[in-house]
Structure 1
Amino acid sequence: MLVKDCLQMLGYSAKDSNELCLYANLICPYSQRIVLALEALEINYIHNEIDFVLKPEQFENISPFGKVPLVKVKSFYLFGSMSILTYVNTQYQNALMPYDIEKNALLHSWSVAIDDIHRSLRAVFTEKDTITFNECIKMFRKQLEILWQSPLNIKKDSFDLLDIYAAPLLVLTSAIEMLGEINLIPDEFRDLLSHYESILPISTIDNPRYRKEIRLFLIENNSALHQQFKAMNC
């Protein structure tokens, strides 16, 4: 079931829109957040794929910090996944964030927490010292366990901003698990991970290709890490 189907089951319908222009890289989890939201709300958009290494000069000229995702809206540009998602949500029926002030604040708090978890994941696949590497893994798993216990109660029969943030994180983590033969995701998340993989738009992220690109990206940029993973056989 695709994300848009989940939202339609919850009573949200598509809305006509002018096309947005999205600059993104589809193996970037921050870009995937925007793609998930746009696909879920059936918003027409033009996708410009941006290479992490060979960024077009045009993109460098329009992006303040040279990072994806970036969205052109009318005559201005928005950057930062939270800013873009807030704009999209405001324009399209508040489908991703509720009107309820308390729940909305909770969603924002836990979305920021997921950004912190992303940083912990980065520490896992950039650390070369074996002892520190194992400590990073423990910290990352602990943070995921805390996320699972959040008062928002992540579950398969709902879809909101937290899912937009959590889905790319878990799918990326799964890809890194496969690369490094290492256990990163607590068992509680396994069913949810399968669900997230099923709702990622297949036209955007074909899972085998996506995982292959993640492997190639990591090995290409850190071949020593790849050898370390294999040697440790975690």
Structure 2
Amino acid sequence: MSTPPLKLISHPLCPYVQRAVIALIEKNVPFERIDIDLAQKPDWFLAISPLGKTPVLLVGDRAVFESAVILEYLEETQPNPLHPVDALTRAEHRAWIEFGSAILADIAGLYNAADEAGLAAKLDSLTAKFSQLEKVLAEGPFFAGTQFSLVDAVFGPIFRYFDTFDELTGIGVFDQTPKVRAWREALRHRSSIKQAVSSDYGTRLRAFLAARPSALAARLRA
């Protein structure tokens, strides 16, 4: 039986899209990526994405939405597994993927914080979360050691934000987490993570952040 063609409905800046792209590349699965404008969502997209969010994976004429579900579908149907074999370890990895989503929520709070007090609170929350990660990281280079996993696919896009945030003073959330810093550096050089965004991603992200009515935007514009 032939596999239906895969189309990934995407947005150039979406970190959840990047998860799926990284997994597809790591699995060496061919797919077509279709970017849309989330500010002007086309009707055909709203018809297949009940929550109006990217990514959506089209498997032939059937749609799978929500990045965590897409990752699990790819694990069940495609080669080169990125989850551990052991069921308990696999469950632990799924939990840390959810932890990654909580970090993304803090990052959104960071770039939307209206004032410096709100910005500082989100930086404190991020620092605390990365300190929790520091305690569970293996010797590296990846989350669980030498094997690249879906947790790494989730955290590559998270760390990518900080390539822009590092331009600003006072964003030292990794100062006390040497293992996290080393993990970030290893993921920065992973081919699949680099390929998950376009060459102008940094410029696009900076413009997106600077346009927001936030304390972070004021720093970027200064």
Q: What's the TM-score bracket when you normalise by the shorter of the two chains?
A: 0.7 to 0.9
Deviation by residue 1:25-58 (Cα, 9 ceiling, x = unmatched): 1311000000000111111111110112122222
- Is 1:220 the counterpart of 2:211? The answer is yes
| Structure 2: distance between partners of 1:130 and 1:230 | 15
Q: By how many angstroms is 1:97 displaced?
A: 1.1
Note if contact 2:12-2:198 (Cα within 8 Å) is conserved in structure 1: no
| Structure 2: distance between partners of 1:140 and 1:70 | 28
Structure 1 alignment gaps of length 5 or more: 1-15
Give the AA of the match of 1:165: V
Give the match for residue 186 of structure 1. Answer: 174
Identity of paired residues, percent?
Answer: 23
Q: By how many angstroms is 1:200 displaced?
A: 4.2
- Is 1:175 the counterpart of 2:164? The answer is yes
Pairs within 5 Å for 1:1-234: 17-93=3-79, 95-150=81-136, 155-156=141-142, 157-178=146-167, 180-187=168-175, 188=178, 189-201=180-192, 202-206=194-198, 209-222=200-213, 225-228=216-219
| Structure 2: distance between partners of 1:203 and 1:164 | 12
Q: By how many angstroms is 1:190 displaced?
A: 2.9
CA distance change for structure 1 residues 210 and 126 in 2, over 3 Å: closer, same or farther? same
Deviation by residue 1:104-131 (Cα, 9 ceiling, x = unmatched): 1100111111111111111111112322
Q: For the aligned residues, what is the CA RMSD?
A: 2.3
CA distance change for structure 1 residues 168 and 61 in 2, over 3 Å: closer, same or farther? same
CA distance change for structure 1 residues 153 and 92 in 2, over 3 Å: closer, same or farther? farther
Q: Following superposition, which runs of at least 4 residues in structure 1 exceed 4 angstroms of deviation?
A: 151-154, 228-231
Give the AA of the match of 1:23: I
CA distance change for structure 1 residues 153 and 103 in 2, over 3 Å: closer, same or farther? farther
Q: By how many angstroms is 1:94 displaced?
A: 6.1
Note if contact 1:71-1:79 (Cα within 8 Å) is conserved in structure 2: yes
User: Which stretch shifts more, 61-70 or 185-194?
Assistant: 185-194
- Provide TM-score, normalisation by structure 2: 0.86
- Provide TM-score, normalisation by structure 1: 0.82
Structure 2 alignment gaps of length 5 or more: none
| Structure 2: distance between partners of 1:216 and 1:75 | 35
Give the AA of the match of 1:161: L
Note if contact 2:112-2:212 (Cα within 8 Å) is conserved in structure 1: no
